[in-house]
Amino acid sequence: MGMMIQGKWTEDAKDIRMQDGQFVRQSSQFTKIRRAAPPRPEPGQFHLFSSWSCPWSQRAMIARNLMGLEDTVTMSAAWGPRIEGYSISNGANYPIPGTNMEARFLHEVYRLSLPDYKGRVTVPVLWDGSAHEIQSNESSDIVWWFNQIGSSDAGTPDLFPSELEPAIKQFNERIYTGLTNAVYEAGNAEKQDVYEAKAEQVAATLVWLNGELSDRSFVLTNNVTVCDVYLIPPLLRFTAIYEPLFKCNLRPLRTLPNICRYIHQMMEMDAIRSTFDLHKSKIGYYLDKKLNPNLTIPLGAVDL
């Protein structure tokens, strides 16, 4: 697992996410847009670096589409084997917006923004071409920011309705703890007891979620909110990736009809369907030699 040390990519660096046999997610370091009232950006000023495989990236991609920002915020989506973190454009040079420079790998964008950066290179990344720097590599902040600059347009939803703030916070915390992050804690666990505890937590969360969705079109209301934006990416990856590769197979989604219905309903929305590619998602995980030493890619899964 590579990372950057003093602004240089180091391939054989120790995986700093593993601590005493447990997976511990690292905090994002670029947080310039965190809860700051944003000005309306100029078209082309901001660029979203994303990845087809990453569920955190898909959050930002969905929010960008829901808020009608496709023409305002440009985007590139990486896919394929994870070489030097993320290859921006499948190994080809990619022009960095607002500069006369090109980059092949996302760590070059990190270095341009912070020359002595130390840490992992993750997506999504919101790049400001005017300031020539990364505004954020934290998906929740990027989703919030997209909502702020797009919610004034007619026909776009408000992903963060103020009257639902307590419910949104409670739901998102439970999903993060019990599903979104827990599948990685289970899949990367280096101790049997750690794995079992996390796998059981994932199963219990899915059973709870299936009950919550018994009489709802969306998670909290009759409209899409940030809770749906956060929930759908891990669900879309569950059967093909998390269940077999991360060994989270105690409660297969096919046994949870309300979740299956919810997935199908959400995928009827073009803003969501256009941000997901199952094949490209699988490649990002199954070509990870640590997780899958033989690098074989499963043919499934079939539709739920």
Active site residues: 54, 184
| Rounded Cα–Cα distance for residues 284 and 131 (Å) | 31
The answer to whether 202 and 178 are in contact (CB under 8 A) is yes
> Are the CB atoms for 129 and 43 separated by under 8 Å?
no
> What is the distance between the alpha carbons of residues 205 and 201, in angstroms, rounded to a whole number?
6
Q: How far apart are CA 78 and CA 73, in angstroms?
A: 16
Kind of pairing, strands 46-51 and 73-78? parallel
Rg (CA), the chain: 19
Using an 8 Å Cβ cutoff, are 150 and 69 in contact?
Answer: yes
Cα–Cα distance between 116 and 13 in angstroms, integer? 16
